[in-house]
Structure 1
Amino acid sequence: MTDPGVVPPNWGFYMGDETKRRRYCKMCNVWKPDRTHHCSICNRCILNMDHHCPWINNCVGFYNRKFFIQLLSYVYLSLIIVVFFTMPEMYTRSMELTRSPNKYGESTYFCLETVFLTLAFCMATLLICTLTNFIKFHMKLVLENYTTIENLEREEGAKSKFDIGRRRNWEQVFGQNPWMWWLPLHTQASRPIGDGVRWRVHYTRVIDEDEELPADEEGMSQASRLLNQGNASANRSTR
C-alpha cells in the first residue's frame, strides 16, 4: 500500500505560530504539524491522518487518501456489476423452477449453483447498501476538508478552518488534473496539492478560533499580541 506520509526529519515550527500548534509527540520525538496524529498501530506520526484502516492494514493519510477512496469506488462498482449480471440469471432460474418444480431435486449441480448465485447476489446487495453511506460520508469529508478524526471532534454545524472551497478541497486530495482523479497513479500530476505540513486556511475562521483560545498573561491570545505588535510597527513607520 502507498505510504500515507510521515513528519519530515528535523521538522520544527516557526516562531510566532499558535501555541496550540506546538504539539510534540513523545513516542516519535518529533514536533507534529497541524492535522498530524500518532497512530498507535503503525507507531508513527501520520500527516493529515484520517484513520487506521484494518482492511488494508495501513493508515489513511495525506498521500494515500485518494487511493483509499478509489478503492471504495472500485469495490462499489464491482458489486454493482455482480448484481447487474446475477439478476437476469436468477430470473431465468426462477422461471425454470416454476416450469419444472423437480429440477432442483434432479440436478445437484444446478441446485448448488443456484445457492451460490443467490448468496453472491444477497451479499453484493448488502455491501452496496453499506458502502453507499460509507462512500458518501468520505466524499462529504473531502469536500468539507475534514478528516474522520477531525469530524469526531467537530461541533455541530461548525466548518473547518481548512475549508477553502469545495474545488480546492477536492484538489488537495485528488490533485489538479481531472483526468487523473480516478486513476490509481502516483505521478506528479495526480498527487495531492501541498506537502501535508503547511495548510491553507480560511482566514476568518482562524480569527474566530483565535478568539476562543485562552488568554496569556497579558490577557491577549498569541495571535492578537502579534497583530498588535505589527500595528505598532506600522504606526512608527508612518510617523
Structure 2
Amino acid sequence: MIEYERLSYKREPDLHNRCCNGMVWCIKDICGIICAIMTWMLILYAEFVVVYVMLLPSPYPIYSTINLVIFQLFAFLAFASHLRTMFTDPGAVPKGNATKEMISMMGFREGQVIFKCPKCCSIKPERAHHCSVCQRCIRKMDHHCPWVNNCVGENNQKYFVLFTFYIALISIHALFLSVNHFIFCIRHEWKECSVYSPPATVVFLLFLVFEALLFAIFTAVMLGTQMQAIWHDETGIEQLKKEEARWVKKSRWKSIQSVFGRFSLAWFSPFSSPQLRSKVESYLHSV
C-alpha cells in the first residue's frame, strides 16, 4: 500500500470550488448563493419579530428572559450549522486524477476494474456520485441542497442534520410564541401588546406563523429522511436510483457514529467535527 506521506508532496493543490487561497470550500452558484442569503434573512426576520415584537415588550420578565435565551441559542446553533454545512468540503474527489501516472502510483493491479468519471476525469471511489452543480464527484453524496449552497456528503452530513434539527426547533418555538402573543394581545385589547400598531403587529405575526409553519414541516421531513438514510447506511441518491448495495453495510449504530462520531454532547454541536479516519485511509478514499 502506498503511504500518504510519499504521495502528498507530488500532488498539486486542488483549488477548484475553493476561496481565500484554497482555505475555504465554496460553491460559486448564483442560485445557491441567493437561497443561502434568503435563509439568513428569514432567520433574522424571525429573530426580529420574536425579540422586538413579542418578548422585549412583554410585561412578564421571567417569561421573556427564558424564551429569549432559548430562542437565541437555537437560532445561533442553526446559523452556525448552516455555515458549517455551506463551507465544509462535502467529500470532493480530486479532479483530473484519472491519469496513467496516478493510477500506476496508487499501485492498482493490471486488469483491476477502476471506475472513472467521464465528467470530471477522476478515479471514482465506491459510493461517490457526480454533482453537476459542484462539478465534482462527491463521496457518499446524499443530494445537492441549494439552501446551503453545497452538496450533502460524507464530510458535512452531520452539520446538515443539525441545521434541519435547529431550524425545526426554532420554527416550533416561534409558532408557540406567536400563538401565545396573539392570545395575550386579544385579552388585553392590544394594550401593552407591542410597540408597533395593531395592524403592523398582526402582519408581523401572521408572516412569522406562515414562515415557521412552512419551515417546521420542511425541515422535519428533511431531518426524518436524513436520519432514515443514516440508519440504513444508504444515501438519498442511492435510494432514489435503487442502487444495489455493493458495499458492506455498517450496523445501525456504526452508521450513526460514522456521521456524528462517538456519542457525547458534541453530537449537537456544529463546532465539533466527527472523528476522522487516519490520513492513509482518508487519502485512499479521496482518490
Paired position in structure 2 for 1:208? none
Pair 1:69–1:43, CA change in 2 (3 A): same
Residue 31 of structure 1: how far off its partner (Å): 1.1
Q: Percent identity?
A: 30
Q: Is the 8 A contact 1:171 1:192 kept in 2?
A: no
For 1:152-191, list aligned pairs within 5 A: 152-154=240-242, 161-187=247-273, 190-191=274-275
The CA distance in 2 between the partners of 1:185 and 1:13, in whole Å, is: 37
Pair 1:13–1:7, CA change in 2 (3 A): farther
The CA distance in 2 between the partners of 1:153 and 1:117, in whole Å, is: 42
Give the TM-score of the pair, scaled to structure 2.
Answer: 0.56
Q: Is the 8 A contact 1:13 1:31 kept in 2?
A: no
For 1:130-149, list aligned pairs within 5 A: 130-149=218-237
1:95 corresponds to 2:198: no
Specify the SS of the correspondent of 2:151.
Answer: strand
1:120 corresponds to 2:204: no
The CA distance in 1 between the partners of 2:269 and 2:110, in whole Å, is: 40
Q: Is the 8 A contact 1:25 1:32 kept in 2?
A: yes
Q: 1:3 aligns with which of 73, 80, 89?
A: 89
Q: How many residues align?
A: 185
1:26 corresponds to 2:113: no
Pair 1:171–1:126, CA change in 2 (3 A): same
Residue 162 of structure 1: how far off its partner (Å): 3.9
Paired position in structure 1 for 2:3? none
Q: Is the 8 A contact 1:173 1:192 kept in 2?
A: no
Residue 84 of structure 1: how far off its partner (Å): 2.1
The CA distance in 2 between the partners of 1:167 and 1:58, in whole Å, is: 27
1:195 corresponds to 2:287: no
For 1:18-57, list aligned pairs within 5 A: 19=113, 22-57=114-149
Residue 178 of structure 1: how far off its partner (Å): 2.4
Structure 2, unmatched stretches of 5+, are 1-86
Q: Is the 8 A contact 2:144 2:150 kept in 1?
A: yes
Specify the SS of the correspondent of 1:150.
Answer: helix
Specify the SS of the correspondent of 2:187.
Answer: helix
Q: 1:76 aligns with which of 140, 159, 168?
A: 168
Select the structure with the greater relative contact order (CA < 8 A; seq sep ≥ 6).
2
The residue identity in structure 2 corresponding to 1:147 is T
The CA distance in 2 between the partners of 1:72 and 1:170, in whole Å, is: 16
The CA distance in 2 between the partners of 1:125 and 1:143, in whole Å, is: 27
Structure 1, unmatched stretches of 5+, are 199-239
The residue identity in structure 1 corresponding to 2:159 is F
Specify the SS of the correspondent of 1:56.
Answer: coil
Q: Is the 8 A contact 2:162 2:268 kept in 1?
A: yes
Specify the SS of the correspondent of 1:128.
Answer: helix
The residue identity in structure 1 corresponding to 2:266 is M
Specify the SS of the correspondent of 1:79.
Answer: helix
Q: Is the 8 A contact 1:47 1:197 kept in 2?
A: no
